[in-house]
């Protein structure tokens, strides 16, 4: 099957061809016809399988074919959890719609709002936004959502995880009741299915990959190492194995900064991205990494969500994630669109419980390796994981306050923490679910 078999317009086919794509991915083969039919859709696909094009192409076609009001108004709204993902989706809308007369724009927090207001004022067909900034501008009456025909929730699982459910509900209240709803998620969690039950009307359902599976083309391995030797082992692997483009995950912003500085001092060019970095700094670091000018990009989970880097060869979990599902998202940055990749996790004694939880989730045992010269101390004792949880899906493992993270995912009554709003709106602080510091980014 080719894209021309999916019933797309000639203008869209030209744009797809210009991007170098000829054969649609499984999610695209199923989602594009479903969206073109005009009904609601609930779709889950492994990250890196092309789901952005799966909703962007048919969305653009429906807008191009439908009647256009006299004044250009927002007819399609795409919500994403992070700035980087919003920018990525915005690029796709612009690339695929380059031969159409539709106008689009992207808005997110962390930058001044006036240029965004100026871009919206003349009128748009498609708006890509993070929830916080969208609500800010809507409440200031800079954004009119009364004519939205298509709503897309992209990476909906992450939006729920980041505590955006209340923002989403507020946005839904100002949208027209009659519209097409498309919910895309990397996984089908129970929370996602509950949201879908309230939002979607008799939706078509697509699940390309089994729930919580990892990409088959990703070579996964665990290196056992003492916590104090992780940085040295990482530098050793990068140097000895001649890794040139490495995305490294840490749990915290401070940890990302410290690791990037330490690697740079060892003549391994590295930069960090996370929620406290300015948007210009994040954009600069990501651009340098994509072009290969930057060897190592150190990121937290939230900042890295939506990073789409063609043929990224290496992902490293410097620290295992506190939530097992995030392991799937992290290593999904590599092995994308049919290319091979390698995912390496550096695991110390503190993280054995987290590792067990990950292996249970993905239903497989990961290969364990020991690098000569970095053998772990067999008598080492586990210590509580700083600023994290060592229990959610982790099988016990010696961490603090494991209940908080589980409740954060299930909507339980864990103690309320704080999350900076700069991932979306850049305006003040937002309440979030889960324990203090459980999901710092």
Average the pLDDT over each of 109-123, 139-153, 341-355, 401-415 and give the range with the smallest value.
Answer: 401-415
- The 10s digit of each residue's pLDDT in 308-354 is 676 788 999 999 998 888 888 788 777 655 567 889 999 999 999 99
Whether residue 56 is found in the same domain as residue 163 = yes
Whether residue 15 is found in the same domain as residue 161 = yes
Report, in angstroms and rounded to the nearest whole number, the Rg of the chain calculated over CA atoms: 22
Instruction: Tell me how many domains the chain contains.
Output: 2
DSSP-based three-state secondary structure for 283:
helix
Name the H helices within 37-164: 51-65, 83-96, 114-120, 131-139, 156-161
Whether residue 152 is found in the same domain as residue 233 = no
User: What's the first-to-final CA gap in the chain, in angstroms?
Assistant: 41
Continuous segment of H or E residues that includes residue 16: helix 10-18
**Residue 414, pLDDT above cutoff 70:** no
Mean pLDDT value of segment 181-192: 84
Give 76's strand partners: 126, 150
DSSP-based three-state secondary structure for 39:
coil
Whether residue 226 is found in the same domain as residue 302 = yes
Handedness of CA 8, 81, 106, 276 (dihedral sign): negative
> Torsion-angle region of residue 242: left (phi > 0), alpha (psi -120 to 50) or beta?
left
Whether residue 167 is found in the same domain as residue 255 = no
CA contacts within 13 A on the Cβ side of 267 = 2
Query: What confidence score (pLDDT) does residue 310 get?
Result: 66
Q: Report which of residues 84 and 99 the model is more confident about.
A: 99
Question: How many residues in total does the chain contain?
Answer: 441
Whether residue 147 is found in the same domain as residue 273 = no
Continuous segment of H or E residues that includes residue 432: strand 429-432
* Domain's final residue, options 183, 207, 231: 207
The beta-carbon contacts of 351-354 under 8 Å, at least 24 apart in sequence, are 351/319, 351/320, 351/385, 351/390, 351/397, 352/382, 352/397, 353/390, 353/391, 353/394, 353/395, 353/396, 353/397, 353/398, 353/399, 354/320, 354/321, 354/322, 354/324, 354/390, 354/393, 354/394, 354/397, 354/399
Kindly report the CATH number assigned to the domain that includes residue 224: 3.40.50.300
Q: How far apart are CA 324 and CA 204, in angstroms?
A: 28
* Domain's final residue, options 142, 172, 207: 207
Whether residue 75 is found in the same domain as residue 199 = yes
Structure confidence at residue 397 as a pLDDT band (50, 70, 90): very low
Please, are residues 429 and 111 in contact by the beta-carbon 8 Å criterion? no
- The whole domain housing 179 covers 3-207
Whether residue 200 is found in the same domain as residue 217 = no
- Nearest CA-CA partner of 131 in 85, 96, 182, 62: 85
Whether residue 201 is found in the same domain as residue 272 = no
**Residue 15, pLDDT above cutoff 50:** yes
* Domain's final residue, options 207, 240, 270: 207
Summary count for the chain: helices (H), strands (E): 16, 16
- The 10s digit of each residue's pLDDT in 349-386 is 999 999 999 999 888 899 999 999 999 999 999 998 86
Mean pLDDT estimate for the chain = 82
Is the whole model's pTM more than 0.75, yes or no? Answer: no
Whether residue 94 is found in the same domain as residue 132 = yes
């Amino acid at each position: 099957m080719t894209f021309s078999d999916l019933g797309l317009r000639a203008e869209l086919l030209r744009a797809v061809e210009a991007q170098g794509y000829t054969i649609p991915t499984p999610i695209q083969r199923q989602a594009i016809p479903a969206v073109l039919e005009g009904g609601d859709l609930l779709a889950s696909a492994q990250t890196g399988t092309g789901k952005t094009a799966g909703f962007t192409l048919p969305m653009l076609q429906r807008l191009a074919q439908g009647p256009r009001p006299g004044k250009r108004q927002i007819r399609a709204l795409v919500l994403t959890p992070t700035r980087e993902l919003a920018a990525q989706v915005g690029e796709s809308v612009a690339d695929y719609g380059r031969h159409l007369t539709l106008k689009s724009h992207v808005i997110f927090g962390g930058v001044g709002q006036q240029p965004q207001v100026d871009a919206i004022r003349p009128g748009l067909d498609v708006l890509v936004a993070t929830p916080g900034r969208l609500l800010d501008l809507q409440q200031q009456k800079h954004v009119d959502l009364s004519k939205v025909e298509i709503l897309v929730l992209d990476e909906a699982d992450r939006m729920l995880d980041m505590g955006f459910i209340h923002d989403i509900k507020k946005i839904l209240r100002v949208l027209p009741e009659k519209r097409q709803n498309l919910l895309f998620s990397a996984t089908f969690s129970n929370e996602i299915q509950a949201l879908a039950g309230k939002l979607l009307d008799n939706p078509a359902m697509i699940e390309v990959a089994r729930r919580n599976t990892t990409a088959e083309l990703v070579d996964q391995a665990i290196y056992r190492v003492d916590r104090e030797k992780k940085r040295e082992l990482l530098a050793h692997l990068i140097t000895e194995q001649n890794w040139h483009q490495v995305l490294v995950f840490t749990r915290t912003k401070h940890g990302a900064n410290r690791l990037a500085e330490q690697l740079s001092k060892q003549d391994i060019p590295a930069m960090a991205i996370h929620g406290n970095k300015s948007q210009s700094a994040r954009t600069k670091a990501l651009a340098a990494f994509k072009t290969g000018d930057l060897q190592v990009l150190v990121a937290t989970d939230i900042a890295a969500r939506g990073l789409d880097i063609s043929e990224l060869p290496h992902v490293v979990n410097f620290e295992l994630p506190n939530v097992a599902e995030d392991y799937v998202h992290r290593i999904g940055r590599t092995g994308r669109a049919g290319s091979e990749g390698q995912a390496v996790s550096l695991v110390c004694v503190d993280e054995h419980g987290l590792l067990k939880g990950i292996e249970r989730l993905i239903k497989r045992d990961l290969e364990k390796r020991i690098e000569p010269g970095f053998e772990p101390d067999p008598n080492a004792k586990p210590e509580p994981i700083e600023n994290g949880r060592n229990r959610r899906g982790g099988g016990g493992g010696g961490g603090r306050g494991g209940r908080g993270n589980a409740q954060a995912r299930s909507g339980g009554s864990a103690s309320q923490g704080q999350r900076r709003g700069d991932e979306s709106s850049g305006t003040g602080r937002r309440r979030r679910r889960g324990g203090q510091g459980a999901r710092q980014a």
